[in-house]
Structure 1
Amino acid sequence: MGNVTENSSLSCPIDHTIHQTLAPVVYVAVLVVGFPANCLSLYFGYLQIKARNELGVYLCNLTVADLFYICSLPFWLQYVLQHDNWSHGDLSCQLCGILLYENIYISVGFLCCISIDRYLAVAHPFRFHQFRTLKAAVGVSALIWAKELLTSVYFLRHQEVVEDDKRHRVCFEHYPLEPWQRGINYYRFLVGFLFPLCLLLASYRGILRAVRRSHGTQKSRKDQIQRLVFSTVVIFLACFLPYHTLLLVRSLWEASCQFARAVFNAYHFALLLTSFNCVADPVLYCFVSESTHRDLGRLRGACLALLACARTGRAREAYPSGTPDASGKSDEPELLTRLHSTFQTPNSPGAGGTPAGGLA
């Protein structure tokens, strides 16, 4: 059996078994996969900003938010492995809780920005240029961060560490919900989730309509865009819909300890699902784009060329005069040419590629 918590305002024993069984598995998986994937995503976002692509700004902000959340996971992992006993200070509990919960709405906000920007690029490619600039993207990003940071102040005003009957310090857990939590939960559901979801669905509906009406787009390209749109919506709903549905259910009807116990496992399972968004984000908005495929190809080519240089260096140590081929010529000039070409950026003179474009 898991440990039992008792709210300071109302005795409410809760079985926390899910925290000691499923939560560590999810946290470790997200750490192992999400951290390197988001680091790579941050690099590709930088390349897009360098190519004057405003989507790179949204991608980098989305990735930074995910990395902040991932950095808080070791603390939560320690917390659940110690049977829900927060061994750090009260402020660290509040900060880690803010990173855990506010990351959801920062991610939703930037996913919404990406979908709207993509809609404007596909459906109205020659209009709204003032909204599709680096300056505009930086301004919108600053507004999203400011909105969520102001919301976070609300949590800093309340005590989030509660000591149970076993003298365990539980963090960010109140059962049943306290009155002040209901109002902020309604705000989260309506403004943080439902409104962005409507914008995202409307944007992707417009994208699909524009793609289907386009006669100049190849069928393979249309299929790729449609698959990406479908995957984005499915992953968005899978990661965020269960949690917000149960958040609304708790806010509307949780008034007793019995109800809190009944929904505890489902609610925390849904909360764990939101963690997988940190893994899905770089896959959807980085690894499926054509520009990222080119960047991955150049990165792979550069690594292979460096390995080839290392092998050639060892061969030259063994054969100082060089390794001639069948015609008696050394392969060094060809190798240097290949190495130079792999490091060329899309905007470099002589490069055959185009600047990093949209993510769709």
Structure 2
Amino acid sequence: MTQNYVNNTSQEITNNSSIKQFKEIRHVVTWIIISVGLPLTLVAIFAVYSLLRKNHVAPIYVINLLISDLIQLCCMIIRETGTTKLITRCVYFSSLMASVGFMVCIALERYLVIAWPLWYRHRRTIKISVVVCVVVWTFSLVCIPLFYFRKESTRTVFGVFLLLPFPLLIFFLVGTIKALSAAISVRAEEKRRIVGLLVLVLLIYTLLFLPGIIWFLADKNARGHNLGFVSFTFLKLSPLADVLLYIFLRKGAVNKVLSCLCCCRKDRTSQTYSSVNDGNTYTVTSL
């Protein structure tokens, strides 16, 4: 009896120490994300806003996505200082839902540009995109009371909500690639920008949101501190990843990135070739 009590006590102490260690690591990682992501998000908002032209719809969704990321970063700051945690948590998850909605809007807009160009050209107006943004923000604000209660049903509903965009993002990417093969009027650079944007959106969603979806939908007994730490850390990284969307909105930026990658690859190839030649020369000399 005494031995079991000692074992249980030692196990509780070990669990408490591991939880405390996870919280300390999460605190440090969160502040790193805030210090890097906050200035980058502000710069990205200004840069994307400078690209906004008449009937140029895509940056509107990206700007709203970056604004939702900015709200998430501000909520992280408030939560890490330890003030008004409950309402901050509700606003954080509400802005996270808004960012998911704007990611779907970005992918849908790029898909319509290629798959249904004539239909989209006559309906591509600032007014429609503003209405869509208002709907997304309204839906996310309406869901704030849902996060007020920490219940299993709330976690399940949020996990299902995060899971729904997956088939849509995959459909938009596959449909866009198929439509691009038949789109003769679209330039090669524009094709790379569109496909790159959709691939990046799907990649961000898969890498950063999938662990959170697994945690929200997992059984209560199956959830561990490791999975919770990883999933919420990845969710906090989404504002940093969303800044990369600016690259695929700016003309010529994709070509510069590809040229840099090609130059790096050529340098590695030349270094490998020269090292092989040096090795062969050394072998011949030694003989």
Q: How does 1:227-266 map to 2 (within 5 A)?
A: 227-249=196-218, 253-254=219-220, 259=221, 263-266=224-227
Partner in structure 2 of residue 19 of structure 1: 23
Partner in structure 1 of residue 250 of structure 2: 290
- Which of 151, 154, 159 is equivalent to 1:189? 159
Residues 186, 248 of structure 1: 8 Å contact kept: yes
Deviates more, 1:235-244 or 1:123-132: 123-132
1:29–1:51 CA distance, 2 compared to 1 (3 A) = farther
1:155–1:231 CA distance, 2 compared to 1 (3 A) = closer
Question: For residues 99-150 of structure 1, what are the alpha-carbon distances to aligned partners after superposition, in whole Å with 9 as ceiling and x for unaligned?
Answer: 3322321111000001001111111111134653211111111111111111
Residues 109, 144 of structure 1: 8 Å contact kept: yes
Q: How does 1:92-131 map to 2 (within 5 A)?
A: 92-129=84-121, 131=123
Q: How does 1:1-360 map to 2 (within 5 A)?
A: 15-21=19-25, 23-78=26-81, 86=82, 88=83, 92-129=84-121, 131-156=123-148, 158=149, 181-190=151-160, 192-219=161-188, 221-249=190-218, 253-254=219-220, 259=221, 263-284=224-245, 286-291=246-251, 293=253
Q: Which amino acid is the alignment partner of residue 108 of structure 1?
A: V
Identical aligned pairs, as a percentage?
21
Question: For residues 273-331 of structure 1, what are the alpha-carbon distances to aligned partners after superposition, in whole Å with 9 as ceiling and x for unaligned?
Answer: 011110111212x123234859xxxxxxxxxxxxxxxxxxxxxxxxxxxxxxxxxxxxx
TM-score normalised to structure 1 length: 0.60
Q: Which amino acid is the alignment partner of residue 70 of structure 2?
A: L
Residues 42, 60 of structure 1: 8 Å contact kept: yes
Shift of 1:270: 0.7
Whole-angstrom CA distance in 2 between matches of 1:119 and 1:266? 34
Deviates more, 1:106-115 or 1:267-276: 267-276
Whole-angstrom CA distance in 2 between matches of 1:185 and 1:144? 20
Secondary structure at 1:52's aligned position in 2?
A: coil
Residues 44, 292 of structure 1: 8 Å contact kept: no
Secondary structure at 2:117's aligned position in 1?
A: coil
1:35–1:115 CA distance, 2 compared to 1 (3 A) = same
Shift of 1:224: 4.6
1:55–1:223 CA distance, 2 compared to 1 (3 A) = closer
1:217–1:135 CA distance, 2 compared to 1 (3 A) = closer
Gaps of 5+ in 1: 1-5, 7-11, 79-85, 159-177, 295-360
1:223–1:113 CA distance, 2 compared to 1 (3 A) = closer
Shift of 1:229: 2.9
Secondary structure at 1:15's aligned position in 2?
A: helix
1:16–1:247 CA distance, 2 compared to 1 (3 A) = farther
The structure having more radius of gyration, on CA atoms, is 1
TM-score normalised to structure 2 length: 0.74
Secondary structure at 1:127's aligned position in 2?
A: helix
Question: For residues 213-245 of structure 1, what are the alpha-carbon distances to aligned partners after superposition, in whole Å with 9 as ceiling and x for unaligned?
Answer: 233445555445434433321221111011011
1:136–1:235 CA distance, 2 compared to 1 (3 A) = same
CA RMSD of aligned residues (A): 2.7
Residues 75, 92 of structure 2: 8 Å contact kept: yes
Secondary structure at 2:55's aligned position in 1?
A: coil
1:234–1:148 CA distance, 2 compared to 1 (3 A) = same
- Choose between structure 1 and 2: higher helix proportion: 2
Residues 52, 134 of structure 1: 8 Å contact kept: yes
Whole-angstrom CA distance in 2 between matches of 1:144 and 1:118? 18
